[in-house]
Amino acid sequence: MSKYSIRPIALAEGPRNGSDYTYRENFDITQNTACYIWYIEGSRPKTLIDAGATASMFAEKGAHETGLISVEDGLSQLGMKPEDIEIVIITHLHWDHVALARMYTRAKFIVQKKELDYARSPHPIDAHLYERSDFEGLHLEVIDGQQEIASGLSVFLTPGHSPGGQSVEINTAAGKAVITGFCSTLKTFAETDLMKRRGWEVSIPLIHQDIREAYDSVLAVKRRADIVLALHDPRFIEKALIP
């Protein structure tokens, strides 16, 4: 089975309330978070996780982000251009994970059927999270459930934050790394004293479709992964290579 490394490319960073990723906790804490794309080093075809967004796009939504690097410059450091990417696995279709998709002109985009169906007609409470113009007309490969993308690289459903979020399991020299299919930081997975009193092993994102599905998905990743790569954790900003 192939073994890969992961190259996180942090496009932007900015402050969030601590409760955004730890349900009913840390209301009085501000934490730094990041927006990433993740290149799977050694992948054939060349595979990226998520398409990314810019700091200016966050600003349009009312968030205060600082730009760190462009997609072009981030990939250039790895000896590539956006048009070299052949597969983009979209964890979920919230705009900050797909907004820059059209930069990858030769790529096909792997998305879960449940996610796409919902994104095309979201409930008003979620409508601000989806922009149909971001994904309509792309070369989409629509899948349903767990699927192997390449040897040692697969996706599995982790709904709750969104209806069809998919996490990405990557075989590495240090074990199975999982890039979460839901917005989270590593604090989402850390068991606090308050959580223990509630009988929780993990927390969940504040934004969720189904609180029980969200909990089960976070727990599934925690139990499945040797290395958890939480989508918005700032600890990967300075990390050039995982593992």
Domains and CATH numbers, the chain: 5-236 (3.60.15.10)
Question: What is the Cα–Cα distance from 3 to 74, expressed in whole angstroms?
Answer: 22
Cis peptide before 205 (omega within 30 of 0): no
Q: How far is CA 26 from CA 192, 201, 203, in A?
A: 11, 17, 12
What pLDDT does 37 receive? 99
If one counts every other C-beta atom within 10 angstroms of the C-beta of residue 225, the result is: 19
What pLDDT does 1 receive? 80
Which positions ≥6 away from 85 have C-beta within 8 Å? Answer: 46, 47, 48, 75, 104, 106, 107
What pLDDT does 54 receive? 98
What pLDDT does 48 receive? 99
Which positions ≥6 away from 239 have C-beta within 8 Å? Answer: 8
What pLDDT does 129 receive? 98
What pLDDT does 223 receive? 98
Question: What is the Cα–Cα distance from 81 to 217, expressed in whole angstroms?
Answer: 33
Question: What is the Cα–Cα distance from 35 to 231, expressed in whole angstroms?
Answer: 7
pLDDT tens-digit profile, the chain (243 residues) = 899 999 999 999 999 999 999 999 999 999 999 999 999 999 999 999 999 999 999 999 999 999 999 999 999 999 999 999 999 999 999 999 999 999 999 999 999 999 999 999 999 999 999 999 999 999 999 999 999 999 999 999 999 999 999 999 999 999 999 999 999 999 999 999 989 999 999 999 999 999 999 999 999 999 999 999 999 999 999 999 999
